[in-house]
């Protein structure tokens, strides 16, 4: 469970703002993690340790899979909103071809808007899901677009008429009320009709519920994930699914993905991995969700291959009902040394399940097929790029987890890039209560944070079981928040267990306190830097973190387990009793698991709405002001490395070289040129 002058001058702009691509590779010591900064975003780069030590066959496999990972890029843009691709292509045409005053503040606003569109794969914020507000006027935008040659604009659907293009996209960009939120999870509204994503068209929430409820069999022990890979529309008064497959919706990019997967199958590490790839190809070709389940089972069972990948319609966070999946891809290979810690966790999976503080009815009698590894991400794609998760646990189907197990990864080269890029930024000094907590975080923060991610992904998502007849869609708009809270709580509860020291995963019983402090500080205060003043929390992961932190804070108030203290007019988190905090975390885990296992919609609603949504306006203003004074970007993402095949005089690949010099702008322009499939 993821920034035209005459040709000579244009070349100069691309060389200075994007890099020529000929810079010397950076050594590990001088590696520059910082790439670009705009709006509320900083773009970083990540290293891929040990790539050079892989065999030629493994390098070729990563290269082919990385190409497949980028070919689906346009799918995500279109899934996020039906106007995204047209708007992106129009903005890119301006960036590449406008010959007027490029120092004009409004034109600079257009370039910032374009960078935001690239970063978020569309016109809505990647995290908050609100539509961007342009820092340029409609009149100026329409004026500069009309100066461009018609052949550089996306006019295919508009009969070559620039005015028709503008009449279609200008209201989408400038009318605040039109497509206001990509994902609307507000209480008391039709979340389908009021969400701007492109998973549905002309249908209501009630119609969606009725359509898919009619398909589901509550007594099916192996339920199909109906609707996962299709758009639901109304045609001639009838609901119709447009399936994403070869020959169906998104056929062109899917055909390209399949082509690269076929090449990958030729250099697979073993027969089991080859079967996984062929099964995914079959799924893309047929769109059959039974085939997707077969592929998912084969993928879980392949624990021998060092190279691994995710490619497809996977996570459902972009759909407020948690039915439709966004397209994503991550290509990776095992970090052998770091994986030893996740192997210890998985080897003790049954111990964790037995000792969990949840009701015995909800415990798995036997933990099957639990595997996890620490990986080096090699490429990020779709809904995992530029913003990316730091851990993944799949598959999402509960029955596959229970019968066949799950596979988890922690993206350690990504967490390391975050950590290295944050050194010396002043954040801890501003928000952490005292030097005692700062010392804890500096000494154990990276280690305890990775352990929490390991526990969250390796066992948290895979722990517990649903009661018979309970659908995993029962919690609807609250499902994603409850599931993420469940996994987070599992990780937090066990991070403080002496078992962690016994297994050698933490050095002592003080180390977990770094993660407890960071988690409470983030959940109660610092994640508010990501929300605009006056807004509530909408994103599922953010709701989850505040739910946990606020619940623990409120329930422990009488004993002052956790306090919010003022000093010099500033608010800080103070944890007075870490052991009692762990007890509270165990109590909340038990309740969250009950809600999940029983499919208690009202219980989920009460927890999320009471603790996870509302924001203290005065605290919000204070935290935003303090954060802005540090001049830090609250959101971060990544450019990908570039894999360059080296060929002999026969055109055969004899090596793959990795290049870290491509800038964010240059990468986005290149992707749009080379992988524009819709």
The predicted pLDDT at position 30 comes to: 73
Dist. CA 432–CA 332, nearest whole Å: 35
Residue written as tokens 């018979």?
468
Q: Using the 8-state DSSP alphabet, how is residue 249 labeled?
A: B
In-domain check, residue 525: yes
* Assigned domain for 53 exists: no
Give the pLDDT score at 457: 86
Residue 431 is assigned to a structural domain of this protein: yes
The per-residue pLDDT for 219 is: 87
Q: Would 670 be classed as within a structural domain?
A: no
310 belongs to a structural domain: no
As a whole number of angstroms, the distance between CA 129 and CA 217 comes to: 33
Token pair in block for residue 220: 């099916």
Domain contains 347: yes
Q: Rounded to two decimals, what is the model's pTM? A: 0.84
Q: Is the residue at 365 inside a domain?
A: yes
Q: Which residues of the chain have pLDDT under 50?
A: 2-28
Domain count of the chain? 1
* The pLDDT value given to residue 1: 56
pLDDT, residue 20, reads 31
**How many CB atoms lie under 10 A from the CB of residue 171?**
14
Judge whether 291 and 106 are in contact, CB under 8 Å: no
Q: What is the pLDDT of residue 25?
A: 41
Biggest CA-to-CA distance, the chain: 76
Which residue in this structure is represented by tokens 């070729």?
A: 60
For residue 531, the enclosing domain spans 335-635
Tell me if 417 is assigned to some domain: yes
Q: Crossing angle of helices 479-495/512-524, nearest 10°?
A: 150
> Beta partners for 646?
655
| Distant-in-sequence, close-in-space partners of 602: CB < 8 Å, separation ≥ 6 | none
């Amino acid at each position: 469970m993821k920034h035209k002058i005459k040709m000579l001058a244009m070349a100069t702009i691309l060389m200075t703002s994007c890099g020529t691509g000929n810079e010397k590779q950076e050594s590990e010591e001088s590696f520059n993690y910082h790439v670009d900064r705009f709006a509320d975003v900083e773009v970083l780069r990540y290293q891929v340790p040990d790539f050079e030590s892989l065999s030629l066959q493994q390098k070729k496999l990563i290269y082919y899979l990385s190409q497949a990972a980028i070919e689906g890029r346009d799918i995500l843009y279109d899934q996020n909103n039906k106007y995204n691709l047209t708007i992106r292509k129009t903005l890119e045409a301006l960036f590449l071809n406008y010959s007027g005053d490029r120092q004009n503040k409004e034109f600079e606003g257009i370039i910032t808007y374009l960078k935001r569109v690239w970063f978020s794969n569309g016109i809505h914020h990647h995290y908050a899901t609100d539509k961007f507000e342009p820092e340029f006027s409609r009149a100026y935008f329409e004026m500069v677009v009309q100066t461009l040659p018609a052949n550089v604009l996306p006019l295919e659907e508009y009969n070559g008429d620039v005015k028709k293009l503008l009449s279609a996209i200008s209201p989408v960009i400038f009318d605040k009320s039109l497509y206001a939120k990509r994902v609307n999870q507000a209480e008391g509204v039709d979340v389908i009709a009021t969400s701007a994503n492109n998973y549905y068209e002309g249908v209501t929430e009630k119609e969606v519920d009725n359509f898919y409820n009619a398909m589901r069999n509550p007594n099916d022990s192996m339920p199909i994930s109906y609707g996962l890979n299709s758009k639901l529309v109304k045609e001639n008064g009838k609901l119709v699914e447009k399936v994403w497959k070869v020959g169906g919706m998104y056929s062109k990019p899917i055909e390209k993905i399949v082509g690269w997967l076929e090449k990958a199958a030729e250099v697979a590490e073993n027969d089991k991995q080859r079967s996984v790839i062929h099964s995914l190809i079959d799924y893309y070709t047929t769109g059959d969700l039974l085939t997707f389940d077969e592929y998912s089972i084969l993928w879980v069972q392949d624990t021998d291959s060092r190279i691994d990948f995710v490619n497809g319609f996977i996570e459902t966070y972009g759909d407020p009902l948690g039915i439709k999946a966004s397209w994503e891809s991550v290509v990776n290979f095992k970090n052998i040394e770091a994986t030893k810690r996740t192997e210890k966790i998985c080897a003790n999976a049954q111990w964790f399940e037995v000792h969990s503080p949840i009701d015995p009815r909800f415990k798995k009698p036997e933990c099957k097929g639990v595997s996890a590894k620490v990986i080096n991400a090699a490429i990020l794609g779709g809904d995992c790029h530029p913003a990316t998760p730091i851990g993944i646990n799949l598959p999402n189907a509960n029955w596959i987890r229970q019968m066949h197990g799950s596979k988890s990864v922690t993206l350690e080269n990504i967490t390391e890039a975050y950590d290295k890029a944050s050194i010396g930024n002043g954040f801890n000094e501003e928000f952490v209560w005292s030097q005692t907590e700062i010392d804890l975080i500096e000494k154990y923060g990276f280690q305890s944070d990775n352990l929490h991610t390991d526990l969250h992904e390796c066992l948290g998502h895979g722990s517990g079981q649903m009661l018979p007849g309970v659908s995993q869609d029962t919690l609807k708009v609250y499902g994603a928040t409850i599931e993420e809270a469940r996994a987070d709580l599992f990780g937090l509860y066990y991070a403080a267990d002496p078992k962690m020291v016994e297994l050698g995963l933490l050095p002592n019983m003080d180390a977990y306190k770094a993660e407890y402090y960071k988690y409470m500080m983030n959940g109660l205060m610092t994640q508010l830097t990501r929300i605009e003043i006056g807004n509530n929390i909408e994103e599922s992961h953010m709701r989850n973190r505040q739910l946990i932190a606020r619940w623990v804070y409120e329930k422990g108030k009488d004993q002052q387990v956790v306090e919010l203290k003022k000093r010099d007019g500033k608010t800080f988190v103070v944890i007075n009793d870490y052991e009692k905090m762990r007890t509270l975390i165990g109590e909340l885990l038990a309740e969250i698991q009950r809600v999940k296992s029983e499919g208690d919609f009202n219980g989920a609603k009460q927890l999320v709405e009471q603790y996870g949504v509302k924001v203290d306006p005065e605290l919000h203003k204070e935290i935003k002001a303090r954060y802005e004074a540090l001049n830090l970007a609250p959101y971060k993402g990544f450019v990908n490395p570039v894999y360059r095949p080296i060929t002999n005089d026969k055109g055969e690949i004899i090596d793959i070289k990795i290049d870290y010099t491509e800038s964010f702008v240059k990468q986005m322009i290149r992707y749009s040129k080379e992988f524009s499939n819709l």
